[in-house]
């Protein structure tokens, strides 16, 4: 189908569609799409409605179509201006010229890694075993002083060392570490049930 489309001398032809030309009393196949003047116009909600015409009638439609119809002279001038192509705001740049943060979207197509390569150094490091770490997992690992690739043995060892350092029964009755001890217990409780450590 792609080879057939590339050799067609008429750009935009939709072959194989069983539509009849929308022009009154025309029996030809409607193989070319054109905006429908009676349908919903293009807007921010979508491209609008189309009609399907034969080659002769789409040529007639195109000859009479005026994109600037209904615009004021100022609106026409703005539409023809190169700066009119970018009406939306752009992302902020730092003084160094770099973009503030990686893209916020997660499902963009980047087959050549053009975007990902730029932000790879800023992305969180993944575990060597391929297990996913949630932001809560990463925070708990930092609380215990562990890296992303820690295993259950390192988890237990770090937990024991922190409890010995912060518990009043083990550190000579010093109660100034109670908050740190609570954070360590919460971090260990979270990580021992995390899928990455089961």
Contact of 68 with 50, CB cutoff 8 Å:
no
Does residue 156 carry a pLDDT above 90?
yes
Locate tokens 């391929």: which residue?
A: 130
Percentages helix, strand, coil for the chain, rounded to the nearest 5?
40, 5, 55
Which domains are delineated in the chain? 2-64 (no CATH), 135-197 (1.10.287.110)
DSSP letters, 140-189, are HHHHHT--TT--HHHHHHHHHHHHHHH-TTTTTS--TTHHHHHHHHHHHH
pLDDT at residue number 118 = 67
C-alpha angle 41/61/37, rounded to 5°? 25
Contact indicator for 8, 55 with CB cutoff of 8 Å: no
| Residue 137 scores a pLDDT above 80 | yes
pLDDT at 11: 72
pLDDT tens by residue, 157-188: 999 999 988 888 877 888 888 899 999 999 99
Average pLDDT, the chain: 78
What's the whole-number mean pLDDT along residues 188-196? Answer: 89
The answer on pLDDT for 34 being more than 60 is: yes
pTM for this entry: 0.41
- Quote the pLDDT of residue 177: 86
Contact 148, 133 (CB under 8 A): yes
Give me the phi and psi of 192, to 5 degrees please: -70, -15
- List, in sequence order, every residue forming a beta bridge with 93; answer none if it has no partner: 99
């Amino acid at each position: 189908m792609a080879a057939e489309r590339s050799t067609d001398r008429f750009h935009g032809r939709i072959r194989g569609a069983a539509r009849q030309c929308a022009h009154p009393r025309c029996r030809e196949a409607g193989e070319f799409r054109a905006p429908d003047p009676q349908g919903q116009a293009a807007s921010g909600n979508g491209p609008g409605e189309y009609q399907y015409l034969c080659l002769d009638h789409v040529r007639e439609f195109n000859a009479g179509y005026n994109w600037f119809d209904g615009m004021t002279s100022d609106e026409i001038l703005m539409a023809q201006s190169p700066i009119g192509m970018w009406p939306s705001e752009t992302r902020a740049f730092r003084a160094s010229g770099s973009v503030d943060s990686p893209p916020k979207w997660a499902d963009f197509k980047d087959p050549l890694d053009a975007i990902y390569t730029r932000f790879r150094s800023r992305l969180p490091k993944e575990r060597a075993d391929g297990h996913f770490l949630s932001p809560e997992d990463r925070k708990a690992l930092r609380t215990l002083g562990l890296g992303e690739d820690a295993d259950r043995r390192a988890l237990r060892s770090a937990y024991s060392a922190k409890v010995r350092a912060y518990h009043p029964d083990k550190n000579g009755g010093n109660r100034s570490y109670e908050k740190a001890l609570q954070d360590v217990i919460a971090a260990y409780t979270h990580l021992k049930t995390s899928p990455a450590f089961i």
